[in-house]
A = this chain, B = another copy of it.
Amino acid sequence: MGKVVALAGGVGAAKLLRGLVRVIPPKNLVIIGNVGDDTELYGLHISPDLDIILYTLAGIVDETKGWGVSGDTFNCLEMLGRLGFETWFKLGDRDLAIHIARTKMLKDGLTLSQATAQLCKMLCIEANLIPASDDPVRTKIQSRQQILDFQEYFVKRGTANHVTKVFFEGAEKAKPAPGVIEALREAERVIICPSNPILSIAPILSISSIKSELATLKAPITGVSPIVGGKALKGPADRVMASMGFEASAYGVAKFYGSLLSHFIIDEVDAEHKKRIENLGIKVTVTNTLMKSLEDSVRLAKVVMTAE
Contact = CB atoms under 8 A, between A and B. Distances in A.
Copies of the protein in its oligomer = 2
A246 to B, nearest CB: 40
A280 interface: no
Interface residues of A, number: 32
Contacts of A95: 79
Given A96-B96, A101-B85, A122-B84, A72 B75 contact: yes
Contact of A101 (B73, B83, B98, B101): B83
Contacts of A123: 82-83
Interface string A75-118: 11111101111000000111111101101100110000000000
Given A103-B43, A107-B43, A97 B72 contact: no
Interface of A: 42-44, 69, 72-73, 75-80, 82-85, 92-98, 100-101, 103-104, 107-108, 119, 122-123
Top 8 nearest A-B pairs (CB, nearest first) are: A79-B97, A43-B104, A75-B93, A79-B94, A93-B93, A83-B122, A76-B93, A80-B97
